[in-house]
Amino acid sequence: MAFRFNLFSTPQHHRVFNYQPVFYDPEKERRREKLRKVSAERELKELQEGKIPEQSKDYVPGSLIYGSLRDGAYQKTKSEGNFLVRLAKYAMFVALAVLLYFFAKYFAYLFI
């Protein structure tokens, strides 16, 4: 098991945004518009008859993006082991700073 020592942590995996483009299809748009008109006429007819119209199941706001961010893009990337490594790095940095301070302070006494 090799000991990796990095002063700054780097990401382990390259995360990519999974974008799937939506293209405009005029024929599909015409069909959807006709279906919308028929649905509106049916709802109007049901309202005139006194019935409560059913809600259209064609589109649910947020259904395209619901859960799409859970694909792994926002996972917890730091584990508890990273905390200990970071703490060890800080302790080594402080120890090095103290060592350099005393070395600089008493360096002149070496040549007397």
pLDDT of residue 33: 94
d(CA 43, CA 53): 6
Give per-10-residue mean pLDDT for the chain (112 aa): 64 71 85 92 84 62 65 56 85 95 82 69
Token pair listed for 108: 């002149």
pLDDT of residue 80: 60
Token pair listed for 72: 């792994």
